[in-house]
Amino acid sequence: MEISVRYRENVAILDISGEIIGDARLNLDEAIQEQVEAGRSGLIINLEEVPMMDSVGLGILVAAYTSLAKRGKKMVLLNVGRSVKYLLVVTKLDQIFEKYDDEDEALENFEEK
């Protein structure tokens, strides 16, 4: 799994490619925590290149969502693929996470809040 970070306005965008399983999850957790602690206004997790995620990877996303919410910030998911979307539906987390298919639309959501 590879993670690249870029910024638009004060929002961090994590572009992830590869499966979020096994030891790769630790890299994701570390990358997210760096952004949470950096004081960004929010976080967009781009899952366009993620074919699969396990439940622990999903737990990392939930922990990040909770950590940001406690700070009055938000996290959204971008370009969620079929298998990850299925995992969200099965766990009923699709009702918690905001999901977007367009990066500009996701960014507009941060401006509104």
- Is the pLDDT at 84 greater than 60? The verdict is yes
State the Cα–Cα distance between residues 9 and 28, nearest whole angstrom: 22
- Is the pLDDT at 95 greater than 90? The verdict is yes
> pTM surpassing 0.85?
yes
Task: Return the domain boundaries, the chain.
Answer: 2-106
3-class DSSP state for residue 53? strand
Alpha-helical (H) ranges within 45-102 are: 55-70, 82-90
Q: Is the domain covering 2-106 a CATH 3.30.750.24 domain?
A: yes
Q: pLDDT tens-digit profile of 34-80?
A: 988 888 889 999 999 999 999 888 988 998 899 899 988 999 999 99
What is the structure's pLDDT at 112?
Answer: 58
pLDDT band at 90 (very low <50, low <70, confident <90, very high): very high
